Amino acid sequence: MTAVAVAERGRMTLVDHLSELRRRVLVAALALAIGGVVAFFLYNQILGFLVHPYRQVTHQRALIVTDPLEGFATRLKITAFGGLVLASPVVLWQLWRFITPGLHKRERRYAIPFVAASILLFCLGGAVALLTFKQALQFLVGVGGQNLTALYTPSKYLSLITLMIVAFGLSFEFPVLLVFLELAGVLSTARLRAWRRPAIVIIVAVAAVITPSQDPYSLFAMAVPMYVFYELSILIGRLLHR
């Protein structure tokens, strides 16, 4: 019998919860391990994809290594990051199945669109980060002047591009947060409409702070979609309250 069925009958004890948690954690850990193995063997392809903007901007063939252990550490980072990305659908599904028994039917009805929208928007944010990263890197290389040659190490470069993906992914969760606050009664569509002007200033300021590269291209690539999401949140909130 599934955990959902047990919970609906009101017979899910503490032992049942712990057993269910252990099962979900084991499945998630197995997915992470398999994803890590796949990423390990796809290391060259993944690293080549991430390094492509660097090659285009600097016209260098590869990143430079100044530490004997950096090559090994880079492979471990790619393995861990790639494994997490590949296993994320399974991990999120296990998390969802563990949380589901504690939700009411009405909450479950809203939870599925929220989870799906969160995953989609995070992936969209990561895609925007990758699309704008070349322009961001061009700005960072050019702002130092002609007397500097851009030779980056894997640790610094991969940290920057990873932070860019995460920052954009999290910023694109903005409409999910607003719609949730609207459904919870914390915010109203009328209040969001009244806050349009200060919202623009706040969004630009937040984008300027959380953008790892601090370049104008990434700033506007993050701020413009966030304001569009702000307007969409108002529309969605009005539709949900009809």
Q: What's the rounded Cα separation, in Å, for the pair 33 and 39?
A: 10
- For residue 213, report the phi and psi dihedrals to the nearest 5 degrees: -80, -20
Q: What pLDDT is attached to residue 6?
A: 47
Of 100, 104, 101, 39, whose CA–CA distance to 74 is shortest?
39
Q: What's the rounded Cα separation, in Å, for the pair 60 and 166?
A: 26
- For residue 34, report the phi and psi dihedrals to the nearest 5 degrees: -65, -45
Q: Is 214 left (phi over 0), alpha (psi -120 to 50) or beta?
A: left
pTM for the model stands at 0.83
Domain borders along the chain are: 1-102, 105-242
Q: What pLDDT is attached to residue 107?
A: 62
Extract the residue ranges of the chain whose pLDDT is less than 50: 6-10
Q: What ranges in 9-144 are assigned the alpha helix state H?
A: 14-41, 43-58, 70-99, 105-143
Is the CB of residue 218 less than 8 Å from the CB of residue 160? no
How many other CB atoms are found less than 10 A from the CB of residue 98?
A: 17
Q: What pLDDT is attached to residue 108?
A: 67
Is the CB of residue 55 less than 8 Å from the CB of residue 152? no
Q: What pLDDT is attached to residue 94?
A: 84
